[in-house]
Amino acid sequence: MSDKPAILVTRKLPDAVEDRLRRDYDVRLNPDDRLYTADEMIAAASDADGILPCHTEQFSAEVIGRLPDSIQVIANFSIGFDHVDLEAAKARGIIVTNTPDVLSDATAEIAILLILGAARRAAEGERLVRSREWRDWSPSFMVGTQVTGKRLGIIGMGRVGQVTARRGRGFEMAIHYNDVRPLEAENQLGAIYHDKLEDMLPHCDFLAIHCVATPETHHLLNRERFALLPDGAIVVNAARGSIVDDEALIEALKSGKLAAAGLDVYNNEPDIHAAYRELPNTFLLPHIGSATHETRDAMGFRALDNLDAVFAGREPRDRVA
């Protein structure tokens, strides 16, 4: 019997991350990358000391209550932790960690891709080329929204939001932001702070969502708040789907209140609201904000650093519960 801590890994991880897991732990891998049901995950965690999951696994209070007593830590391969009931984990004495910092650049790149793709009607154009329906050029053909020089509003000026703001400045965009508190003066870089979201929205030609998914931000963007945006605004979401009320966003896109939306995250993904697929003014990606080789390796190593700390008796760097 191994004297190394036993770790259940719920999804297929990068090779370098799994190599380190094999070296340092008695690891239970998922080489087929099959999504576990809750019952399967609980059974697979039998006698394990920790679980290394992704956001695809839901740790409700009921699931956490059924985990083996041996589980000491849930070390998420994810910056988000809304899929874990933190209070239930605390009640069981289970440490919960995440992987911040390392995916800021990659996620901000996706936010900029969503802005450009939605503004310049990239999905429509790509379909035309692939389907051979592109006929000729015309001054009225595929006219979109220019990004350069416009106003970019950011909800949540954390690590990812700040990188998105820097990238937006490369397009000479004026930055507005809303968060629970303003940035330190040296980090503002000319960005305009709004302590109330409602006060910021009328100043947003583009709106990028980068806040954390919490009960307080659930459906933060609803019908009333979409109405406060300028006509023809564009909304992009690279954070979490739950922050957006789908019906309200779809209504705003159908009515023309919003010119377009760029989405990388959704409610109930991958079983997303069918209207998003049907609307011509949506630019849709399959939750790939952190999907670069460099970032996925870094996320895995960060999760392993947290595991190492727990089993060495140290406080993990990224503890959220």
pLDDT class for 96, splitting at 50, 70, 90? Answer: very high
What pLDDT, on the 0 to 100 scale, is given for residue 207? 99
pLDDT at 260: 98
| Measured distance CA(166)–CA(173) in Å, rounded | 9
| Cβ atoms of residues 201 and 152 within 8 Å | no
Q: Is residue 321 part of a domain?
A: no
Residue 283 has pLDDT above 70, yes or no: yes
In this prediction, residues 292-320 reach a mean pLDDT of 98
Q: Which residue range forms the structural domain that includes residue 56?
A: 6-102+293-311
C-alpha Rg value of the chain to the nearest Å: 21
- Is residue 237 a contact partner of residue 258, using CB atoms and an 8 Å limit? no
Rounded Cα distance, 93 and 135, in Å: 64
What pLDDT score does 136 carry? 95
Per-residue pLDDT band for 190 (boundaries 50, 70, 90) equals very high
pLDDT of 1 strictly over 70: no
272 part of a folded domain: yes
User: Do 58 and 182 have their domain in common?
Assistant: no
**CATH number of the domain encompassing residue 46:** 3.40.50.720
Structure confidence by residue, pLDDT tens digits, 243-269: 999 999 999 999 999 999 999 999 999
Same domain for 266 and 178?
Answer: yes
Q: Which residues are catalytic?
A: 240, 269, 287
Question: Is the domain of 204 the same as that of 60?
Answer: no
Assess whether pLDDT exceeds 90 at residue 2: no
pLDDT in tens, 110-158: 999 999 999 999 999 999 999 999 999 999 999 999 999 999 999 999 9
Which amino acid, residue 119? A
- Domain identity same for 303 and 273: no
E-assigned strand segments in the chain:
6-9, 26-28, 50-52, 73-75, 95-97, 151-155, 174-178, 192-194, 206-209, 233-237, 258-263, 282-284
Q: 193 and 72, same structural domain? A: no
What is the value of pTM for the model shown? 0.94
Residue 193 — pLDDT band, cuts 50, 70, 90? very high
- As a whole number, mean pLDDT of residues 159-170 equals 98
Same domain assignment for residues 177 and 273: yes
Residues 59 and 180 in one domain: no
As a whole number, mean pLDDT of residues 288-301 equals 98
Q: How confident is the model at residue 188 (pLDDT cuts 50, 70, 90)?
A: very high
Nearest one of 18, 21, 9 to 54, comparing CA atoms: 9
The reply to whether 248 and 300 lie within a common domain is no
pLDDT in tens, 5-22: 999 999 999 999 999 999
Same domain, 118 and 264: yes
Query: Are 236 and 148 in a shared domain?
Result: yes
Does residue 71 surpass a pLDDT of 70?
Answer: yes
Are residues 108 and 95 part of one domain? no
